[in-house]
């Protein structure tokens, strides 16, 4: 595979990876005793560390990031006093060697103290924070309940009789219910607490029993119920959601299990989420980046339509301010490339020159289908793929009315001879239309300010392949040869 240009998928925020750190680097720290006007005053005593930098970090989407650092004095004491408050969420204290020592909640007030010894870090004491008192009580119950459930699960896997399995299954259901009831009691008793916000974000609705409506089972009801209640009590503009380890996995699970894979269904959900998240200072650009990265080069054919619609509704209306110059250029160019080759749309015109010097127009070709391949004679993957396409053509496609239209994307004059030699050696001279763009045509196109075929067909790597119908509409792209063959079979069957 040969890449003609590199596609840089942007990310507005880098997530810190502890595994990649080799040397401690202090982050905007405040030494104890400093007279810094700050809305934050978090005192830390962390034994046995002295005269060294330690850190606090937080969860960030699926990753973790360092947030701030402090220098501990000879008494293992330091004070975090940044110029502005931290975003609330689940944080942790990090050692000089970047090991996570213990978790705590960054509350709204951010005036509290933490005392810990690395020899007994589970006994860390946090004073002056109701949120952390609540979090500690919940954590103790959660850990205890989690161990109980783990033990029951192990016993269930090892059980050899139906009676034991049934009994253990009932116990697991009972203890899971007890854990959820405890969480519900917290959210009901302290609805405005940070912990309640986190628990609501973590909660997922259970599938209800299938109801009987007018004598018939409504098998879709459980699906619709779960989908409709999946985000109950979750505010997408709440930046605190990013500072948890479970929001983004829950979001991914929602799209994987409850949202149809067709682009319109996906984009409907994304647009709702993004419009809701608009006022979130951190979460909005994060989600915009996340969805852009996923659909700018999607795993499923046709889902690039999601990115195109995102560009039209967000980036084209001002959201490029979140990007640096290089990312902005990539996003804009990629969007305009993909706009021109969406599934179901007419293929962009190709009026190129064949090996004999004759003009060949894509739209003047006949056939039930046209298979277009952009390739480079110096590309190793192309040299492997073209003979496979030829074999498929001779064995099946020719009889089904498929026309082969190839485009040599190389502008190097020397490749013309290499192409000729390759075609002769592999016996690829029958059934193929070999074309390229002359320098004169390329210069004229550039002078006129017209988009070239690389942009119109999103040719950033070779080979790039398209399947067109008899009206030259795009019906498939960027698939394997076998998948293209399956598409042809399905179309012929009227599917």
* Distance between CA atoms of residues 193 and 300, nearest Å: 41
pLDDT of residue 7: 37
pLDDT of residue 355: 84
- CA 202 to each of CA 103, 250, 403: distance values in angstroms, whole numbers, following the listed order: 17, 7, 54
Query: What pTM was estimated for this model as a whole?
Result: 0.84
Rounded average pLDDT over 370-394: 95
> Residue 492 in contact with residue 475, Cβ under 8 Å?
no
Helix (H, G, I), strand (E, B) or coil at 94: strand
Residue 323 — very low, low, confident or very high, per pLDDT cuts 50/70/90?
confident
pLDDT of residue 24: 39
Rounded average pLDDT over 300-326: 91
Rounded average pLDDT over 99-110: 96
Residue 10 — very low, low, confident or very high, per pLDDT cuts 50/70/90?
very low
CATH 1.10.3300 fits 18-128, yes or no: no
Q: Closest Cα to residue 110, out of 140, 131, 133?
A: 131
Tell me whether domains 18-128 and 351-492 share a fold.
no
pLDDT at 401 over 90: yes
pLDDT of residue 156: 92
How does the average pLDDT of the chain come out, rounded? Answer: 90
Rounded average pLDDT over 24-43: 64
Q: Closest Cα to residue 464, out of 476, 473, 451, 450?
A: 476
pLDDT of residue 116: 97
| Domain regions of the chain by residue span | 18-128, 133-202, 212-339, 351-492
> Residue 106 in contact with residue 134, Cβ under 8 Å?
no
pLDDT of residue 20: 38
Rounded average pLDDT over 310-337: 89
Residue 223 — very low, low, confident or very high, per pLDDT cuts 50/70/90?
very high
pLDDT of residue 417: 83
Rounded average pLDDT over 380-409: 95
pLDDT of residue 245: 94
* Distance between CA atoms of residues 465 and 478, nearest Å: 6
pLDDT of residue 436: 94
Rounded average pLDDT over 29-45: 73
Q: Over the Cα atoms of the chain, what is R_g? A: 30
- Class of the CATH domain delimited by 351-492: alpha beta
Q: What is the pLDDT of residues 456-485, one digit of tens each?
A: 999 989 999 999 999 999 999 999 999 999
pLDDT of residue 36: 54
pLDDT of residue 302: 95
Rounded to the nearest angstrom, the gap between the alpha carbon of residue 397 and the centroid of all alpha carbons in its chain is 37
Helix (H, G, I), strand (E, B) or coil at 344: coil
Q: What is the pLDDT of residues 385-395, one digit of tens each?
A: 999 999 999 99
Rounded average pLDDT over 342-349: 96
Q: What is the pLDDT of residues 200-222, one digit of tens each?
A: 999 989 899 999 988 999 999 99
Q: What is the pLDDT of residues 417-435, one digit of tens each?
A: 888 889 999 999 889 999 9
Question: Which of 105-109, 126-130, 442-446 is predicted least confidently?
Answer: 442-446
């Amino acid at each position: 595979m040969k890449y003609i240009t590199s596609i840089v998928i942007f990310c507005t925020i880098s997530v810190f990876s502890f595994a990649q750190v080799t040397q401690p680097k202090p982050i905007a720290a405040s030494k104890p005793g400093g007279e810094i006007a700050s809305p934050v005053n978090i005192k830390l005593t962390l034994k046995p560390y002295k005269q060294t930098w330690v850190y606090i970090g937080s969860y960030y989407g699926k990753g973790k990031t360092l947030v701030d650092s402090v220098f501990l004095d000879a008494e293992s004491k330091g004070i975090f006093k940044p110029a502005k408050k931290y975003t609330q969420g689940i944080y942790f204290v990090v050692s000089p060697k970047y090991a996570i020592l213990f978790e705590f909640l960054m509350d709204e007030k951010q005036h509290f103290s933490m005392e810990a010894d690395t020899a007994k870090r589970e006994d860390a004491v946090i004073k002056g924070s109701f949120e952390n008192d609540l979090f500690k009580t919940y954590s103790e119950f959660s850990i205890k309940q989690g161990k109980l459930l783990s033990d029951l699960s192990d016993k269930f896997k090892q059980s050899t009789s139906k009676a034991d399995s049934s009994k253990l299954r009932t116990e697991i259901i009972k203890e899971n219910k007890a854990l959820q009831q405890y969480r519900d009691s917290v959210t009901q008793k302290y609805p405005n607490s940070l912990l309640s916000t986190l628990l609501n974000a973590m909660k997922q609705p259970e599938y209800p029993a299938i109801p009987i409506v007018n004598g018939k089972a409504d098998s879709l009801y459980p699906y619709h119920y779960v989908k409709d209640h999946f985000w109950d009590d979750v505010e997408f503009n709440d930046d605190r959601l990013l500072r948890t380890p479970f929001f983004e996995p829950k979001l991914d699970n929602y799209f994987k299990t409850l949202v149809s894979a067709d682009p319109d269904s996906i984009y409907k959900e994304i647009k709702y989420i993004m419009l809701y998240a608009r006022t979130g200072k951190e979460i909005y650009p994060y989600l915009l980046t996340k969805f852009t990265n996923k659909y700018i080069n999607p795993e499923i054919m046709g889902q690039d339509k999601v990115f195109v619609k995102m560009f039209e509704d967000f980036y084209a209306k001002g959201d490029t301010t979140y990007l640096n110059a290089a990312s902005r250029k990539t996003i804009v160019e990629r969007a305009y490339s993909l706009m021109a080759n969406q599934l179901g749309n007419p293929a962009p015109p190709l009026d190129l020159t064949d090996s004999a010097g004759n003009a060949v127009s894509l739209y003047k070709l006949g056939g039930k289908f046209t298979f277009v391949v952009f390739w480079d004679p110096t590309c190793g993957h192309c040299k492997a793929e073209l003979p496979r396409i030829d074999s498929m053509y001779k064995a099946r496609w020719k009889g089904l009315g498929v026309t082969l239209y190839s485009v040599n994307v190389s502008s190097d004059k020397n490749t013309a001879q290499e192409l000729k030699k390759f075609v002769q050696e592999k016996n690829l001279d029958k059934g193929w239309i070999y074309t390229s763009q002359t320098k004169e045509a390329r210069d004229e196109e550039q002078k006129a300010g017209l988009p070239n075929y690389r942009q119109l067909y999103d040719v950033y790597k070779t080979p790039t392949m398209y399947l067109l119908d008899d009206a030259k509409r795009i019906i498939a792209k960027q698939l394997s040869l076998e998948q293209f063959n399956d598409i042809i079979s399905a179309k012929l069957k009227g599917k």
